[in-house]
Structure 1
Amino acid sequence: MNRHDAAGSASPHRVGRDATGGTPRQEYVDAFSDEQYGQPLPVPGPRRGEPEGGASTGASTGSADAQEQAGRDREAGTEPEPGAETGAGAGHRTPEPRPGRRRHRAVRGRAARRGGWGRTVTGTAAAAVAVVMTVVVAGEMHGGVSSANGDAADRRPHLGQQDLSGDDEGARSVPEGEAGEAPEPDPGPTYDELMETRFPLDPDLTGDGELVPVSGSDPAADPDAMTVLRYRVDVEADIGLDPELFAQAVHRTLNDQRSWGNNGERSFARVSSGDHDFVITLASPGTTAEWCDKSGLDIRQTNVSCDSASTERVMINAWRWAQGAETYGDDMHAYRQMLINHEVGHRIGYGHVGCTAEGAPAPVMMQQTKFLTWTNGLTCRPNPWPHPEN
């Protein structure tokens, strides 16, 4: 508002002067005090149109307004009262509303003072938004790149929500009883796997002749059979073959329904001591030949097994047990079953027979280790069982 009244003449006294019209009221001087509004926050740089290092705080603006007002007062012949506080030393008083240009400048000065604080708040808010956006972008990167249809975005967890879809092993709970448990020992090859395996053995090996009974016993599969034959298993020491495997093979084979049980006619029980009806013996080729010689049987040329009928021993040649025969090829399991059934068949009274029909299963008492074609020209298939039909 101009310093002239509505009629255009000079005012008799200025608004805001005391009753004498000489000096300004103290509260109007105080309105421009820096201390009234406190020290403003610093502003990071000059505003547009403001020179480098120019007034950018409320304090500097207030000081400029106070100097301008003092100049105008001197021109009008009015000076502040002696001892009145001005500028930064003014007291904290609440000014009365004052119209006029100085009021406009005071408001503008306060706006300038508050402008630095407002820009500081604005900058702080912008920094906070930037932090939030960084967190969101990091979350997007953690969740994977969004596909065109937004599937990856749907899988992202909300802020503050725990992501339970990860593969963090440390976060998974360990079932009770698993921690600290030692791994189960390897059980090793099965019986069937061992029975299919060839073992190294010298065909000219002659052991020291020590025949050792295999410990333990196995009951007859049919204890109510008409005849229960008791047998012992001996294995020559230090020939490199498993006595337990051989004993197990003998008992399983003899008590199979396809073997010599003849539907309840007989059954077989294994013992390791005491009374027995015969001894099934696994021995080196040289030792086997010695025991076969005792019954008038020469097996050296063909290196086969025999039933040494004049002794208690049914002899199984360890080289044949380990290596098999050409007639059975790779079917070591079946060949070993045939060896047991053939030699025990001799012990219980059966002699050699030949092939009776082309392509038929070979009789178990045929000399299958040597051949499958009989003298009549008929060829049979390998067969380890007395009663394969069972």
Structure 2
Amino acid sequence: MDRVKQDARGDDRRAPHRASTRRATGSPEPGDAPRTGQYRPAKPAAQRVGEDRYRPGGRRTSAEPLSASWKPRVEASREKAAPPQKTGIAKLTGTYGWRVYALPILVVLTVLVVVNTANSPAQPIAEQGATPGVESAGGDAAGGAIDGNGEQAIPENPATPVKLDVPTAELPNGSPFTQAGTGQWHVVPGTGPKIGTGKLYTYTVEVENGIDPASYAGDDAFAAAVQGTLSDPKSWTWDGKIALQRVDGSFPNPSFKVSLTTPETTHRADACGFQITFEASCYRKSLGRVLINLARWVRGAKAFGADMTGYRQYAINHEVGHALGNQHVGCGGNGQPAPVMMQQSFGVSDDYVSMLNDIPGGDKGKVAKDGRVCVPNAWPNPTPKQ
């Protein structure tokens, strides 16, 4: 009985039996070549058994030893050859990309700019803006450096003065004032309603640090004068094209800043300048500031005589007029109110004001020497309709 069971399980005993059966019956086994009518000798049993071992789905018996396939598998992934080492420009390009080509171009452009700048004639400071220092529209010259508090400080580089014989432009005698402050300003707290119906311009009221408050009655008095003047219906909101509103320091970017400033600060080239040796206020676009000269605020102008309130209203309206885009004009006719954009700090006579045309960067003939003399006036619209 043990012998029968062993014969039933052993493949090495069944294999000769299948071979003899196949020879006797002529039936093909799987994997045999098809018959072609030509006699082919039967394969040895050991070879057929070996083929049966590797037939897909075939069962390997425990009696057969493990062995490697006669047809080794080709590995799908083979080790790639190491890329060649990059040298020179190829290595730089691989590391920095397009910057390798951009750097030489930038170097060439920089050299060209330096050569061009060195060969260009220097521009006078007065030509950087329209008549700096003479109640001008200011200019676009770069502002001063930023101080530790984030304020824009004005560098100390005064222009060469030009002396003119304009007797009405001299600063009147009067009360003392602070000659020099720190070159930085602080915002006076306070806001106001929107005045007017046209395009809105916002402004802050500021005072230079280091000014003795006794000379101008303090920050609140100056702020009240500025806001009261610009809120008056005779000021720039009169025709419905412009609206003005006072804001405080929490407003990030006001349209301009109305700043009470000491003479020494206004004399600096990046402020009003001092080409004409008369005290003056101005608007400097690069600073975004209307610079009201403290000397004029305290002393006024000879054309206005003792009318200090009228002169201060004129100074505010004139310089804010520059911030709104207005330029200088001359007298419209003898005995008429002077246009607010006439340079009344120097006089109300066209013959005097026309002298300012002769300085570098002056008004270039905007005011003719025609003998006309006006009367002082502080307002853009001095006679509003009732």
Structure having greater relative contact order (Cα 8 Å, sep ≥ 6): 2
Report the TM-score range of the alignment, normalised by the length of the smaller protein: 0.3 to 0.5
TM-score, structure 1 as length reference: 0.46
TM-score, structure 2 as length reference: 0.46
